[in-house]
């Protein structure tokens, strides 16, 4: 009896092991097939006689193929990964993702110029930090306080005006200010491949949003014209605003008080507040975008997270783990762990700024 039982148990075990092996092999084959399928999807798309390369500023490679694979999969009606247009929400950081952020945030330059303009009314600024540093162009001191201190400075110098007046101040500044190293207007310091990507996503019925640490009212002045992103799809840091009557007309007045800093863990919170649903794609370049990417890619169904990595010291700037501005350290680790797409600007982009295409 005992002998028979042992035989039976052995048989059972063999069957079980065989079944497990089959399962593992099936799963592995399935995973391989998925990879092949994803490759096929892209190859089929690229080979299609009517294929127009809307990402021509992107060199062929894993980053470009990952983008196309994602877009084709979520927009193929009847496909297993189809997502209806209403849910095709894509969020983009701005500084270092859509436009450059070196040698320092463009809005910081705007704030410094603003402080210079306002200085005669505030003689105490000559001896009070951080205004003193701003007036003297002492960037080391300005940057030493970290991003939050910078945002506080930026926001504080943006108060007092009505929202209409402030827009005009920004518009006038953008019309004359020049980037300190390239001498180009700031609005030309945008990344052509990202402009192409925005257009490609919108052509596939994505709704594109900016969600940046930059000032919401600052970005809205140019976002529609240079990115095709309307004001209602721009999310950023803000100061408090008050409704009041001036000369018998209602105005919205900007107060010298922070309302919200749209950075790090603030980004998913603001995405929820403004958009009310989880994005299916997120694009950033620094640790400040990490929580936005985590939140996006933790959702169910097909998701896409991408980091732009600044690797081109010649055509742009090369920086990541040790940079004061746009540090990409923890984010790079998680991108590698979670298989997010990491753009290598030097190799993936055949053009960086629009002016290079002329």
Beta-bridge mates of residue 260: 238
By CB under 8 A, name the one of 79, 231, 256, 339 that touches a copy of itself.
Answer: 231
Bridge-based pairing of strands 89-92 and 281-284 is: parallel
User: Residue 73 or 294: which CB sits closer to a copy of itself?
Assistant: 294
Residues that bind a copy of itself (rule: CB under 8 A) add up to a total of: 35
Residue 196 CA to residue 187 CA, distance in Å, equals 16
Residue 176 CA to residue 113 CA, distance in Å, equals 12
Residue 11 CA to residue 303 CA, distance in Å, equals 44
Q: In angstroms, give the least distance from the CB of 244 to a copy of itself.
A: 8
Residue 61 sits in the site that holds a copy of itself (CB under 8 A): no
By CB under 8 A, name the one of 44, 48, 171, 277 that touches a copy of itself.
Answer: 277
**What percent of the residues of the chain are helix, what percent strand, and what percent coil, each to the nearest 5?**
55, 20, 30
Residue 242 sits in the site that holds a copy of itself (CB under 8 A): yes
By CB under 8 A, name the one of 238, 262, 285, 286 that touches a copy of itself.
Answer: 238
By CB under 8 A, name the one of 269, 302, 351, 354 that touches a copy of itself.
Answer: 269
Q: Select from 3-11, 30-38, 241-249, 323-331 the region that touches a copy of itself (CB under 8 A).
A: 241-249
Binding to a copy of itself (CB under 8 A) within 142-181 occurs at: 163
Residue 210 three-state SS? strand
Which positions from 292 to 331 touch a copy of itself by CB under 8 A, shown as an x/- string? --xx--x---------------------------------
Residue 214 sits in the site that holds a copy of itself (CB under 8 A): no
Residue 226 CA to residue 215 CA, distance in Å, equals 16
Q: Note whether 235 and 274 are within 8 A (CB).
A: yes
Residue 198 CA to residue 192 CA, distance in Å, equals 10
Q: In angstroms, give the least distance from the CB of 276 to a copy of itself.
A: 3
Q: In angstroms, give the least distance from the CB of 336 to a copy of itself.
A: 18
User: Residue 41 or 292: which CB sits closer to a copy of itself?
Assistant: 292
Angle of CA points 143, 345, 343, to nearest 5°: 95
By CB under 8 A, name the one of 274, 312, 323, 351 that touches a copy of itself.
Answer: 274
User: Residue 72 or 235: which CB sits closer to a copy of itself?
Assistant: 235
Compute φ and ψ for 246, nearest 5 degrees.
-130, 125
Handedness of CA 324, 330, 335, 336 (dihedral sign): positive
Q: Note whether 252 and 162 are within 8 A (CB).
A: yes
Q: Select from 247-255, 308-316, 327-335, 350-358 the region that touches a copy of itself (CB under 8 A).
A: 247-255
Instruction: Spell out the residues 6+ positions from residue 322 whose beta carbon is closer than 8 angstroms to its own.
Output: 329
Angle of CA points 280, 282, 283, to nearest 5°: 155
Binding to a copy of itself (CB under 8 A) within 76-105 occurs at: 86, 89
Site residues (CB under 8 A) for a copy of itself? 86, 89, 163, 207, 216-217, 220, 224, 230-234, 238, 241-244, 249-250, 252, 265-266, 268-269, 272-277, 291, 294-295, 298
């Amino acid at each position: 009896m005992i002998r028979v039982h042992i035989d039976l148990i052995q048989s059972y075990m063999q069957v079980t092991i065989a079944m497990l092996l089959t399962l593992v092999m099936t799963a592995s084959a399935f995973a391989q097939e998925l990879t092949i399928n994803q490759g096929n999807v892209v190859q089929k798309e690229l080979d299609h006689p009517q294929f127009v390369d809307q990402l021509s500023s992107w060199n062929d490679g894993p980053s470009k193929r990952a983008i196309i694979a994602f877009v084709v999969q979520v927009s193929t009606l009847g496909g297993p990964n189809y997502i209806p247009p209403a849910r095709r929400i894509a969020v983009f950081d701005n500084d270092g993702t859509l436009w450059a952020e070196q040698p320092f945030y463009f809005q910081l330059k705007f704030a410094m110029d603003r402080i210079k303009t306002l200085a005669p009314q505030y003689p105490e600024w000559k001896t009070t930090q951080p205004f003193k540093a701003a007036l003297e162009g002492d960037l080391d001191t300005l940057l030493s306080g970290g991003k939050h201190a910078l945002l506080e400075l930026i926001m504080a110098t943006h108060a007092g005006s009505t929202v209409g007046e402030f827009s005009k101040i920004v518009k006038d500044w953008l019309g004359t200010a020049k980037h300190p190293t390239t001498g180009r207007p700031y609005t030309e310091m945008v990344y052509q491949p990202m402009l192409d990507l925005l257009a490609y996503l919108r052509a596939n019925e994505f709704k594109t949003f900016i969600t940046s640490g930059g000032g919401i009212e600052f970005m809205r002045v140019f976002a529609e014209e240079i990115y095709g992103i309307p004001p209602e799809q721009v999310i950023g840091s803000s100061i408090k605003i008050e409704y009041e009557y001036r000369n018998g007309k209602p105005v919205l007045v900007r107060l010298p008080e922070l309302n919200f800093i749209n950075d790090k863990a603030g980004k998913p919170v603001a995405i929820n507040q403004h958009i009310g649903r989880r994005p299916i794609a997120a694009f950033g370049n620094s640790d400040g975008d990490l929580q936005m990417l985590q939140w996006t890619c933790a959702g169910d169904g097909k998701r896409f997270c991408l980091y732009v990595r600044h690797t081109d010291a010649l055509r742009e700037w090369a920086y990541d783990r040790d940079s004061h501005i746009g540090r990409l350290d923890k984010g790079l680790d998680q991108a590698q762990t979670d298989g997010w797409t990491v753009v290598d600007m030097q190799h993936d982009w055949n053009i960086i700024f629009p002016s290079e295409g002329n």
